[in-house]
Amino acid sequence: MTESDGTTKTVSRRRLLTTAGASVAALGAFPVVHQGADLANPAIVGHRGVAGLEAPNTIAGVRLADELGADGVALDVRRTVDGELVLFHDPVLDISTNASGRVETTTAEELADVRVDGEPIPTLREALGVVSGTELSLFLELKKTGYTEETLALVEEFGLVDRTTLTSFRIPALNTLDDPPVDRGFLAGAPHPDLFSEARQAGSSLVLSHYVPYGLDWFVEKANRSEMDPGIWELASTEPHIEDALSFDIDLLITNRPDIALEKRG
């Protein structure tokens, strides 16, 4: 975004997410379908740390998730041009930082000066060092293929194998390992008929759907019939929608506002 004086203004992803969530709620685009239902007791995981309250995919977000008492954190992993694994969601820096360009064509040294809402972009090694000092479970989303083994090697180095789940939308990112020591989770934007066969191809018994209310009853029932564990990840982190997500019989909820989910959890 460019100001009138020609300088570039950084757009805060956290503000964008908060505004988007409020707008969606006001428009009723994500209707609450289980009003007044009993709430489930899934594991509560902070999405990108605690993206509704802190800069996403940052050490500050990981620490806040731990302070709030979340059961885990879900973080995004990308690789720089010189092979450093870092925490960042978007393929480009332009949307939510004070820099521009693609992460995969940027060096780790160049990223050291980049800020997300004032916070530095951590390396995966830095983040694992923090997580290892907590009891948080760890969900690492591999945004692309080609660095699964490197990610797993770091997880093993920090002794976090028993607490880590590798997740991805990409089947080859998960099934490239023979008998991996960590759990795997297959991500979907919305429930769809091929989801469970794709999860099997990825070697995953955990399936994660975006919060799409009218499709989630089918999703949970199908997961149970397929002997898979259903989870929800959601971005419209308002209190009614978190309550609605918790009304489904799920094993895992990944949310931008784990503080609200922990308060509401049955």
* E strand segments, 59-215: 72-79, 85-87, 115-116, 119-120, 137-142, 164-168, 183-188, 206-210
What integer pLDDT is reported at residue 266 of this predicted model?
63
Task: Tell me which of 34, 89, 192, 210 is the catalytic residue.
Answer: 89
Structural class in CATH, domain 13-27+42-264: alpha beta
Per residue in 92-116, pLDDT tens? 999 999 999 999 999 999 999 999 9
What's the whole-number average pLDDT of the chain?
Answer: 89
Task: Tell me which of 34, 47, 210, 241 is the catalytic residue.
Answer: 47
Residue 200's contacts (CB-CB under 8 Å, 6 or more residues apart) are: none
Ranges of each domain in the chain: 13-27+42-264
- Please tell me the distance from the alpha carbon of residue 197 to that of residue 219, in angstroms, as a whole number: 13
Per residue in 172-221, pLDDT tens? 999 998 889 999 999 999 999 999 999 999 999 999 999 998 999 999 99
Per residue in 135-185, pLDDT tens? 999 999 999 999 999 999 999 999 999 999 999 999 999 999 888 999 999
| Phi, psi of 8, rounded to the nearest 5 degrees | -95, 130
- Please tell me the distance from the alpha carbon of residue 253 to that of residue 243, in angstroms, as a whole number: 11
Annotated active-site residue 34? The verdict is no
Q: Which pTM was predicted?
A: 0.88
Annotated active-site residue 89? The verdict is yes
- Please tell me the distance from the alpha carbon of residue 116 to that of residue 118, in angstroms, as a whole number: 5
What integer pLDDT is reported at residue 28 of this predicted model?
45
Tell me the three state secondary structure of residue 46.
strand
Site of tokens 């694992």 = 128
Beta-strand pair 119-120/115-116: antiparallel
- Please tell me the distance from the alpha carbon of residue 160 to that of residue 114, in angstroms, as a whole number: 28
